[in-house]
Structure 1
């Protein structure tokens, strides 16, 4: 499934995420900054600009305490004011370690070297389901042995996304990496979930349908079933 399978809020613009990262006049005047060079308020300001320019209206940023990742999911839910722990999500940069030698970037979203996968914190990614999805997406033209998605090394993830560990978000990435969204997130009620916000201590809550319209993800079953 893609975003066409879900309703999109009227007036919401469809834009390339990496293009949106450079749409403001401030970006046109100044050289590109690395993640380390951007101050914390500026990261939030940039992401707010991307979301607003794309017509996203239902989002919220929240700074969390330094011990956030030492807390249980229930405690994190309370910090964010989330409805349930099911609404706490994370983004992971994955690399296809068996991609053919000529596949080195993200130019073909159906057969990309990298994907950003968004899943719930209380779910486990099923790499075999993702492998089968991408294999089927390519209509069997590429051997299954050429798909083996693994978590990208931290340095590689930061180089591609522009965000450090525990700060990764599919919005405003340095590279326009295709996004895969767990269908469990797409079906959450209420349809508002939390994920990384560009800084380790910054989290972003966003309306699910607006997130789908903005990032154009593949929406698939990519986690292990309960039990």
Structure 2
């Protein structure tokens, strides 16, 4: 049987900063929860139970994706052209794999009249080092709140169908998770 999440304690500086960001954004549903240090060594069902999530489908990850076809262009230069070099994608651990063709279509839709031909897109997950530099959060801690580098946030449509309407994301530290009402979050 899984151990219960760690009892509440004083917030770390990261948690305190992200709680403030959530308040500033009006994300009143944001709740942070500490997990045991071995959280990622367990199966999704165990993680679900530790968090009290409605299902494993509520467990999400945030990934930074980069259009490698814009590798010689800075993010600022891409933005000046109406393009997006990077996006942060939130999707379920227990769901279909990321469909890069659909992701390309969504990014092109965001770019509107500035979108390039499909062959000008090759969206790939950034390395762990790049993710840390761009987000400010280490592996298994990336959260869309308070990222070091602002970028568009894309949320899987499947999250809207969660039974209790709440999703669990990384919370800025590997043992810190963020619960949000998905409709409010979107």
Normalised by the length of structure 2, the TM-score is 0.85
Superposition CA RMSD, Å: 2.0
- Count of equivalent residues: 173
Residue of structure 2 equivalent to 1:69: 40
Higher mean alpha-carbon deviation, 139-148 vs 81-90, is at 139-148
Distance 1:110 1:207, change over 3 A: farther
Residue of structure 1 equivalent to 2:62: 91
- 1:132 Cα deviation after fit: 2.2
- 1:49 Cα deviation after fit: 0.9
Are 2:87 and 2:154, in contact at CA under 8 Å, matched by a contact in 1?
Answer: yes
Task: Map 1:117-132 to 2 at 5 A.
Answer: 117-123=89-95, 124-132=97-105
Ranges in structure 2 where 5+ consecutive residues have no aligned partner: 1-10
1:26-85 Cα offsets, whole Å, 9 max, x none, are xxxxxxxxxxxxxx7111111111112222221211111111111100000011010100
- 1:190 Cα deviation after fit: 1.5
Ranges in structure 1 where 5+ consecutive residues have no aligned partner: 1-39, 213-227
Normalised by the length of structure 1, the TM-score is 0.71
Task: Map 1:153-172 to 2 at 5 A.
Answer: 153-172=127-146
Distance 1:161 1:139, change over 3 A: same
Distance 1:50 1:146, change over 3 A: same
Q: Describe the SS at the equivalent of 2:37.
A: coil
Q: What CA distance in whole angstroms lies between the structure 2 residues aligned with 1:153 and 1:94? A: 9
